[in-house]
Chains A and B, each alone.
Chain A
């Protein structure tokens, strides 16, 4: 058995035996899905809060209709909107508003609504509340008011609102995604969720296993095992063994997830009623998922191996690894505009930059079908930079491994690279 294989085997088995591997394999995707879905749910599901709203109706016509329109109930059957009409005498508008604002401040009421005298013709109304961030509630009130005002105007013109509604019935556009396996119904929300779960897993695993490589190298240095290792093998063999061994652990984890995912795709729809979410994921997605994980891992793990070699403690490494984490996080931060517009020039360029392409090209492939040329180009550029990075880091690695106790400075690193 070659020396590199021996190191691979040790790294692989020691990691696999750890409880953290089992835990990560089981909880990883759940956590990821949770991270993505929960905030989504929080936004879409309206908060279960009752709105107590005072209404100043200067038209004298809108309030009764509004009360009928806003008859939504909360989950426990209580009305969501409790309206109360407040009378004013003209000229005392400011005083009334002040009084109502005080009531809002004291939480007697959650909001108040002032419907101006010309509301029926101009559509003017003001909404005052402590929290104006609850879009669902505010949209609801706005659309209720709109409907009332529009119906009033139509009535005045002698038209039948019901008929008008029928005649102006709009188009409800259903969005379907065209993929290799045919069309399927899919909306922005679903694509967003699915893609982000994958991208987050890519991000987390590349980071996790990259850091594991770095920790392993630092452990070798701090325990001085590295002396014995280097007396038995070349530093490049050690580096390769560490990266490949931990990469293997990552691949194992991915294969477990993919097997699970494919299992769900095949049987989940029938037995668990998860068809809507699961059926959408095709085997080729899983293939590229694994491929981009591997490529991304190799690039970042090599960088992390270099960080391990120039640092002596994890505290040192915390600072040095910051630029790498930044490179990894950038694609996440850029994912929102790219999901919106996956074929824009910006998206194409970013997805070809090797440090971003593992996540961004995969992300684009999930949303549209980029030209094969672009996919191959990103894979090519990524592979090329992996080789360059290995070549560069190997030089730093050889010298850095034997420097204990202090962190190498940039000029020193440059000298090491030049020297070898």
Chain B
């Protein structure tokens, strides 16, 4: 079943079109990456999904129903975090769960269990403002999943977390997903998307640029990306007719070959000119796909 469906959703603010006839589907059980550059319309889309604002045109369905019928089954971690600073952590969690329709008596034990999972149980009677920023963020994550939502929308969940907490949060997300929770992840951290998401949707200027299963998207981009590690002059890279695009990194270069180019030919050239230490045909990174798609789309618009 589709947890979420957007059909030709359109939203304008005064002079700006924020979301431009966007359609997408999210099946139950997916981890869905909602990607896009700053100002692409991600937050507006999420707000419309949550019924915080209404689209001017088009429809949004949660489990096949329009409107606010099922927003209680959704958990939301907004990008701009915020909690009542003067409230005690446990009271706040109980409050946020009960506005999602949970009973206070059930929630208390559940909240403590979650706090223990994040090693925050000692803080449950402290005021929110006494917690560090990272801790507050984890409390907010708990608030977003405490009411057993079937769909969780996480907007930049990893920013500001240290590697240990990032890893724990990632595990928790995977765990929830394994239990059947659908996840929509909006982030700029492409490594996280590659690690977590089964499907992605890339939007730019309110329009969908790319949509589908992550592995298929990568396949579509073909096997023409080469990672090359070598000692010697780099000049031959600039003159080679095989290379469409190159990214220099400290220890290696990543090369995108032209569609018909043969990687073996590149290897031969490289061996002639330099001492090759490593030659690898790799999948294109999502980072590259993102940059390419977005700059391509922007390029299309530029002549106007």
- Using a CB–CB cutoff of 8 Å, the interface residues on chain A facing chain B are 1, 3, 6-7, 10, 14, 219, 222-234, 402, 404
Closest 9 CB pairs of A and B: A224-B82, A223-B82, A231-B50, A227-B78, A224-B80, A232-B99, A230-B52, A231-B76, A225-B82
Interface-lining segment among B21-29, B66-74, B279-287? B66-74
Interchain CB contact (< 8 A) of A231 among B52, B85, B140: B52
Which residues of B are found within 8 Å of A219, using beta-carbon distances?
Answer: 84
Which residues of A are found within 8 Å of B98, using beta-carbon distances?
Answer: 1, 6
Q: Bound complex: CA of A361 vs CA of B192, how far in Å? A: 65
Which residues of B are found within 8 Å of A232, using beta-carbon distances?
Answer: 71-72, 96, 99-100
Which residues of B are found within 8 Å of A6, using beta-carbon distances?
Answer: 95, 98-99
Rounded to whole Å, the gap between the CB of B141 and the closest CB of chain A is 12
Instruction: Decide: B99 and A7 in contact? CB cutoff 8 A.
Output: yes
Q: Bound complex: CA of A219 vs CA of B128, how far in Å? A: 14
Interchain CB contact (< 8 A) of B83 among A7, A223, A231: A223
Instruction: Decide: A402 and B78 in contact? CB cutoff 8 A.
Output: no
Asked if B261 is at the interface (CB within 8 A of a chain A CB), the reply is: no
Question: Across the two chains, which residue of chain B brings its CB closest to A398?
Answer: B53
Residues of chain B in range 123-143 having any CB-CB distance to chain A below 8 Å: 140, 143
Asked if B245 is at the interface (CB within 8 A of a chain A CB), the reply is: no
A223 in contact with B84 given A6-B98, A228-B96, A231-B51 (CB within 8 Å): yes
Q: Bound complex: CA of A404 vs CA of B100, how far in Å? A: 24
Instruction: Decide: B82 and A3 in contact? CB cutoff 8 A.
Output: no
Interchain CB contact (< 8 A) of B68 among A222, A225, A234, A402: A234
Asked if B112 is at the interface (CB within 8 A of a chain A CB), the reply is: no
A233 in contact with B52 given A14-B86, A223-B82, A224-B81 (CB within 8 Å): no
Instruction: Decide: A227 and B80 in contact? CB cutoff 8 A.
Output: yes
Rounded to whole Å, the gap between the CB of B48 and the closest CB of chain A is 11
Q: Bound complex: CA of A86 vs CA of B89, how far in Å? A: 82
Q: Bound complex: CA of A232 vs CA of B100, how far in Å? A: 6
Question: Across the two chains, which residue of chain B brings its CB closest to A1?
Answer: B98
A402 in contact with B82 given A6-B98, A228-B143, A232-B72 (CB within 8 Å): no
Q: Bound complex: CA of A234 vs CA of B87, how far in Å? A: 22
Which residues of A are found within 8 Å of B84, using beta-carbon distances?
Answer: 14, 219, 223, 225
For B, the interface residue count at a CB cutoff of 8 angstroms equals 30
* A6, A224, A228, A404, most chain B CB atoms within 10 A: A228
Question: Across the two chains, which residue of chain B brings its CB closest to A219?
Answer: B84
Instruction: Decide: A231 and B71 in contact? CB cutoff 8 A.
Output: yes
Q: Bound complex: CA of A174 vs CA of B95, how far in Å? A: 60
Which residues of A are found within 8 Å of B50, using beta-carbon distances?
Answer: 230-231
Q: Bound complex: CA of A223 vs CA of B81, how far in Å? A: 7
Rounded to whole Å, the gap between the CB of A58 and the closest CB of chain B is 76
Q: Bound complex: CA of A165 vs CA of B143, how far in Å? A: 87
**B129-163 contact mask (Cβ, 8 Å, vs A): 1 or 0:** 00000000000100110000000000000000000
Q: Bound complex: CA of A225 vs CA of B140, how far in Å? A: 10
- Using a CB–CB cutoff of 8 Å, the interface residues on chain B facing chain A are 47, 50-53, 68, 71-72, 74, 76, 78, 80-87, 95-96, 98-101, 103-104, 140, 143-144
Q: Bound complex: CA of A219 vs CA of B84, how far in Å? A: 8
Q: Bound complex: CA of A224 vs CA of B80, how far in Å? A: 6
Question: Across the two chains, which residue of chain A brings its CB closest to B104?
Answer: A1
Q: Bound complex: CA of A286 vs CA of B52, how far in Å? A: 43
Question: Across the two chains, which residue of chain B brings its CB closest to A221?
Answer: B82
Which residues of B are found within 8 Å of A225, using beta-carbon distances?
Answer: 82-84
A229 in contact with B99 given A14-B86, A234-B68, A402-B52 (CB within 8 Å): yes
Q: Give 23 CB contacts A-B under 8 Å.
A: A1-B103, A3-B101, A6-B95, A6-B99, A10-B95, A14-B84, A14-B86, A14-B87, A223-B84, A224-B82, A226-B82, A227-B76, A227-B82, A228-B76, A228-B78, A228-B96, A228-B140, A230-B52, A231-B76, A232-B100, A234-B68, A402-B53, A404-B80
Which residues of A are found within 8 Å of B83, using beta-carbon distances?
Answer: 223, 225
Question: Across the two chains, which residue of chain A brings its CB closest to B98?
Answer: A6
Q: Bound complex: CA of A231 vs CA of B76, how far in Å? A: 7
Question: Across the two chains, which residue of chain B brings its CB closest to A399?
Answer: B53
Which residues of B are found within 8 Å of A404, using beta-carbon distances?
Answer: 80
Which residues of B are found within 8 Å of A234, using beta-carbon distances?
Answer: 68
Q: Bound complex: CA of A10 vs CA of B83, how far in Å? A: 13
Instruction: Decide: A231 and B143 in contact? CB cutoff 8 A.
Output: no
A224 in contact with B99 given A231-B51, A231-B71, A402-B47 (CB within 8 Å): no
Q: Bound complex: CA of A233 vs CA of B101, how far in Å? A: 10
Q: Bound complex: CA of A6 vs CA of B104, how far in Å? A: 10
Rounded to whole Å, the gap between the CB of B179 and the closest CB of chain A is 22
Question: Across the two chains, which residue of chain B brings its CB closest to A225?
Answer: B82
Q: Bound complex: CA of A402 vs CA of B99, how far in Å? A: 19
Rounded to whole Å, the gap between the CB of A109 and the closest CB of chain B is 62
Q: Bound complex: CA of A404 vs CA of B52, how far in Å? A: 15
Which residues of B are found within 8 Å of A223, using beta-carbon distances?
Answer: 82-85
Which residues of B are found within 8 Å of A1, using beta-carbon distances?
Answer: 98, 103-104
Which residues of B are found within 8 Å of A229, using beta-carbon distances?
Answer: 99
Instruction: Decide: B99 and A233 in contact? CB cutoff 8 A.
Output: yes
Q: Bound complex: CA of A6 vs CA of B71, how far in Å? A: 17
Rounded to whole Å, the gap between the CB of A219 and the closest CB of chain B is 8
Instruction: Decide: B99 and A227 in contact? CB cutoff 8 A.
Output: no
Q: Bound complex: CA of A226 vs CA of B72, how far in Å? A: 16
Q: Bound complex: CA of A7 vs CA of B100, how far in Å? A: 11
- Known pairs A223-B84, A227-B80, A230-B50; list 10 more (Cβ under 8 Å): A1-B104, A6-B99, A10-B95, A219-B84, A223-B85, A227-B78, A228-B96, A231-B71, A234-B68, A402-B52
